Structure 1
Amino acid sequence: MVKIGIITGSTRQGRVNTQVAEWVKSIADKRTDAEYELVDIKDYNLPPFNEPVPAIMSQDYQAPEAKVWSKKIDELDGFVFITPEYNKAITSSLKDAIDYLYPEWNNKAAGIVGYGSTLGVTAANNLRLALSVPKVAVVGTQPGLSLFTDFQDMSVFNPAPYHEATINTMLDEVVTWSTALKTVREKTAVEV
C-alpha cells in the first residue's frame, strides 16, 4: 500500500490552508487504497532556503530542519499539495520546502488542490512547474476552490458538496500513479 502525504502550502498566522488540508484528509480517510497523512510544513520550521549548494548536487543538508524534512518526504510515495494563491504563485514557504530536497521527490506522483479568488489556478500551474524539476509527476485532475463561494468571509472553509467527487477523482489518479512510480523507484534502487 502506498503512503500519500497531504502537504499544507502555507505557514502564515491565521491561514485557512489547514482547514482545506483536513477536509481533503477526511475524504481520503474514507478510502482503503492508501495510507494518508497530513504533513504540515509549518511543523518542520524550515528556514528560508539558503543551502550552500542545491539539493540536486548534495544531500548534505546544513539546516537540521532539512534533515527531518528529508526523512518525512523520503518515506512517502505520493503527495497532495494544498496551495493558496499569493500574487499568482505559491507561497515562499512551499517553494522553499520543495527546493530543500531533490532525490526525495524523484519519481513520485502528486495532486494539487488550489484555492484563491480565481480558484488558485495560477498557483497550481506554478506548482506544477516547480515540481517538474525534481521529477514529480502531477496528475491531471486539479480541484480548485473559490475564496468567494467555498469560504465564509474568506476565513471559514465551507466547500460546495460537489467538490468531494473531484477530490476523489484526483486521489484515484494520485494513488494509481504513486503505485506505478513506486515500482520505478524499486527498479532503480536494485540497479544501483
Structure 2
Amino acid sequence: MSKLKIGVIISSTRPTRFGDVPAKWILEKANERPEIEAELVDLRDFDLPFFDEMASNAWMPSQNPEAVRWQKKIGEFHGFIFVVAEYNRAITGALKNALDQAYVEWNKKAFGAVGYGTVGAARAIENLRTIGVELQMVSTRSAVHIGGGDFFAVHPLGQQNKPMSDIEPSIGASTKDMLDQLIWWGNATKAARG
C-alpha cells in the first residue's frame, strides 16, 4: 500500500507565532511512521484574500488565482494534521478563511490536530471538528494538547524554551494515538474515494 500524503498545516500567520515549533515536531513524528509521508503547509505561503468568491468551489470554480493555487495544494493530500492556535475559544481567522477557500479538496479526508496554549487549544480543536463535519471530513478521536505546564515549558513566554522532546512523556501517548487513528481513517477514506 502506498504511503498516505499528509499535510501538516500551521494555522497562525502572525510574525511572532509559536506554531512553527510544534509543527516541525509533529512533522518529524509523522514522518517516522512508515505509512506516512508528511509535508509542512504554511498559510503564510498563500496570499489568500478573505473569501470573496461567488460561491463555494463545490458549486462553481474559484476565480482568484491564489485560491485556486491553495485548492490545488490541498488536493495533493490524503489527510491533514492541523497545528492549532486558540484565539478567543476558536481557531484562527487565517485558518477559517483557508478552510473556506476550498471545499471539494477537503471532502472525505481524515484529519488530526495538535493544539497549543494554556488549555492546549481544546476549544479551538472542537471548533475545527465542527467545521470538519461540514466539509465532510473525518476527525481523529484523539488530538495532541500542549497545555498548562507543558506549554509554558516549551513556549518562550514561559522563559524555559525547552525542546519539544522534554514534554514527550506527557504528550507521547496522545501523539501515537492520533497518528494511529489518522493512518486508519486516512487509509479508509483513501480507499473509499478510490
User: Is 1:176 matched with 2:187?
Assistant: no
1:36-95 CA distances to partner (integer Å, 9 max, x unpaired)? 11111111121211212123322x112111111111111100000000000110001100
Letter in 2 for 1:122: R
Distance 1:52 1:157, change over 3 A: farther
Please, what TM-score do these two structures have when normalized by structure 1? 0.90
Question: Counterparts of 2:99 and 2:70 in 1: how far apart (Å)?
Answer: 10
Check whether the contact 2:56–2:62 (CA below 8 A) recurs between aligned residues.
no
Check whether the contact 1:56–1:103 (CA below 8 A) recurs between aligned residues.
yes
User: Is 1:40 matched with 2:42?
Assistant: yes
Match of 2:102 in 1: 101
Give secondary structure in 1 for the equivalent of 2:152.
coil
Match of 2:135 in 1: 134
Check whether the contact 2:153–2:162 (CA below 8 A) recurs between aligned residues.
no
After superposition, where does 1:17-166 map in structure 2 within 5 Å? 17-58=19-60, 60-146=61-147, 147-154=151-158, 156=161, 158-159=163-164, 160-162=167-169, 163-166=171-174
Question: Counterparts of 1:177 and 1:23 in 2: how far apart (Å)?
Answer: 22
Give secondary structure in 1 for the equivalent of 2:8.
strand
Higher share of residues assigned helix: 2
Question: Counterparts of 2:111 and 2:52 in 1: how far apart (Å)?
Answer: 25
Question: Counterparts of 1:31 and 1:152 in 2: how far apart (Å)?
Answer: 29
Give secondary structure in 1 for the equivalent of 2:98.
helix
Please, what TM-score do these two structures have when normalized by structure 2? 0.90
Question: Counterparts of 1:169 and 1:69 in 2: how far apart (Å)?
Answer: 29
Unmatched segments (≥5 aa) in structure 1:
187-192
Aligned length: 185
Check whether the contact 1:108–1:137 (CA below 8 A) recurs between aligned residues.
yes
Letter in 2 for 1:182: K
Identity of aligned residues (%): 37
For the aligned residues, what is the CA RMSD? 1.5
**Structure 1 residue 154, shift from structure 2 partner:** 4.8
Letter in 1 for 2:168: P
Check whether the contact 1:151–1:158 (CA below 8 A) recurs between aligned residues.
no
Letter in 1 for 2:26: V
